[in-house]
Amino acid sequence: MTTDPPLNVLFLCTHNSARSILAEALLNHLGKGRFRAWSAGSSPRENQQPNPLAIEALQRAGIATEGLSSKSWDVFAQPDAPHMDLVITVCDNAAGEVCPYWPGQPATAHWGYADPSEVQGTQDQRREAFLQTLHAIGRRLELLVNLPAASLHRMGLQQTARELAHSDEVKA
């Protein structure tokens, strides 16, 4: 059994209310101590909270939601912030923005997902959109957490994370 410290992963989206929240909670659930996840947004709205449908989807899946909150990515650029090993954007808007300087120059990747909060329709259709996004993120995170330790060391982490961005194309 390895005693390596967990890999710190930051998921970024514009408002930090849906996709990045789903990814944070799911990786903390699946990570089995090998990973520690956080999420943040490039421009969360004032008093932004996680989308209630994101929280509901996580709870229905049996994933803890305590402590989830929407916050600015500036929190993670502070000197006392946890050191990130990997930063993943999960929406196309955040991927195109100029990110803050991340201490330690973590690996970066973009895993784009459609925004479930933009789905129009009945409450059941909107719930289904969040569930589908949760499952899509989950498929990619399952691959990440099951990688051998050698694939997660500093030199290979960026390449591995970027290859996982195309995992849905391979397993479609």
| Domain assignment of residue 169, yes or no | no
Select which of 9, 10, 13, 152 is catalytic.
13
| Domain assignment of residue 149, yes or no | yes
With bands split at pLDDT 50, 70 and 90, how would you rate the model's confidence at 154?
Answer: low
**pLDDT digit string (tens) for 29-77?**
999 889 999 999 988 877 889 999 999 999 999 999 999 999 999 898 8
With DSSP H G I counted as helix, E B as strand and the rest as coil, what are the percentages for the chain, rounded to 5? 45, 15, 45
| Domain assignment of residue 2, yes or no | no
- Distance from C-alpha of 118 to C-alpha of 39, rounded to nearest angstrom: 20
| Domain assignment of residue 171, yes or no | no
Q: What is the CATH number of the domain that holds 48?
A: 3.40.50.2300
Determine contact, residues 65/25, Cβ cutoff 8 Å: yes
| Domain assignment of residue 27, yes or no | yes
Select which of 91, 107, 109, 157 is catalytic.
91
Phi/psi of residue 123, each to 5°?
Answer: -60, -40
Q: Verify whether residue 99 is a known catalytic residue.
A: yes
Determine contact, residues 83/8, Cβ cutoff 8 Å: yes
Query: What is the arithmetic mean of pLDDT over 104-129?
Result: 92
Domains contained in the chain, number: 1
| Domain assignment of residue 19, yes or no | yes
Select which of 30, 61, 81, 99 is catalytic.
99
Domain limits at 24? Answer: 7-162
